[in-house]
Structure 1
Amino acid sequence: MPRMIFISLPVADLPASMAFYEALGFTNNPQFSDTTGACMVWSEAIHVMLLTHEKWRTFTDRPIPPPTSSEVSLGLSLDSREAVDAMVAAAVANGGTADVNPVQDMGFMYGRDLTDPDGHIWGPMWMDPAAMPAE
């Protein structure tokens, strides 16, 4: 089996969260989805498990952090600056928040941070390694 990552996130409204992630370009894998959780696929190696709060609590007794806190920021590489801006626009149109941190524009690298409706931070970014300044 290839190495893969499965990111589990607690969500307050599973259907709304699924719609949010679909708008960002994720697809649902119904084989691993039910009324308590949904497997959202970014690539062959990256999957996000959206779990209702009730389902999440079957995995841990630790509290679910409020949407205003930060535990982790998850980065996603995209093909262009325009794709970064399009993902952020899709996030905003579907209940997310844009630019929760300052936009990073270094010419050869461009990134913006957004949150999903539950406050989870995603950082779509684009980079052109050939344009990186020489050290």
Structure 2
Amino acid sequence: MKAVVLRSRLERAVDSGRFYAYRIDSVRRIHGWFVAQIQRADSKGKKMATKIFVNLAVKNLDQSIEFFTRLGFAFNPQFTDETATCMIVSEDIFVMLLTEAKFKTFTPKEICDATKSTEVLVCLSSESREKVDEMVRKAVAAGGTTYNEPQDHGFMYGHGFQDLDGHIWELIYMEPGAAG
């Protein structure tokens, strides 16, 4: 599966003496999306929910898109090009899968080799124990691996997998009322 190419026009901007390539159209779309979210929340008299964007470096964007598609995730084509994609986890949670070259434009630090070191643990809640196990099975079938056995603590059940780049994804189910 190929990443959707939205536009190839790039403009250069200077930030702290370093040159960064920005997709001006993408920036405008993101800005417009946030403005629409804020206006929608304001029209209802509510504050916009905080959204989280987890950014992960990937070695092969097309393979990562295929992997996560097989797990049931969808992608926002509005924020997808040959260097990045926006994976939709929920209404307020997104994972930006970025090629290593693109990821390097956001940090002066070295990119962690997630197959050798742990940079981050991504943990998602699931609707049931069965959904936890189902997602792990899908991940393994799509080329991911497990790194430990399921953990059953009675009130909480968890298991996880490593994606194609070695990032760890924890999945948990917590009995209703256990967190409160």
Identity %: 50
Question: Counterparts of 1:96 and 1:61 in 2: how far apart (Å)?
Answer: 29
Distance (Å, rounded) in 2 between the aligned partners of 1:26 and 1:63: 28
Counterpart of 1:116? 163
* Matched residues, number: 130
- Give the aligned partner of residue 92 of structure 1: 140
1:39 counterpart = 2:86: yes
Structure index of larger Rg:
2
Look up the match of 1:55: 102
Give 1 or 2: higher helix fraction.
2
Q: Which runs of 5+ in 2 are unaligned?
A: 1-37, 39-48
Counterpart mapping for 1:46-85 below 5 A:
46-66=93-113, 67-85=115-133
Select the structure that is richer in strand.
1
Q: Structure 1 counterpart of 2:126, which letter? A: L
- Asked whether the 8 Å contact 1:25–1:42 carries over to 2, the reply is no
CA deviations on 1:74-125 (whole Å, 9 max, x unpaired) are 1111111111011001111112111x13421012211012111111111011
Q: Could you state the TM-score of these two structures normalised by the residue count of structure 1?
A: 0.90
Tell me by how many angstroms 1:59 deviates. Answer: 0.8
Q: What value does the CA root-mean-square deviation take over the aligned residues?
A: 1.3
Answer whether contact 1:26 1:40 (CA < 8 A) is retained. yes
* TM-score for both structures, normalised by structure 2: 0.68
SS of structure 2 residue aligned to 1:18: helix
Off by >3 Å, runs of 4+ in structure 1: none
Uncovered stretches (5+) of structure 1, i.e. residues with no partner: none
Aligned mates of 1:124, 1:25 — CA distance in 2? 14
Query: Do the aligned partners of 1:76 and 1:122 also contact (CA within 8 Å) in 2?
Result: yes
Aligned partner of 2:152 among 105, 119, 127:
105
Aligned counterpart in structure 1 of residue 72 of structure 2, from 17, 25, 49? 25
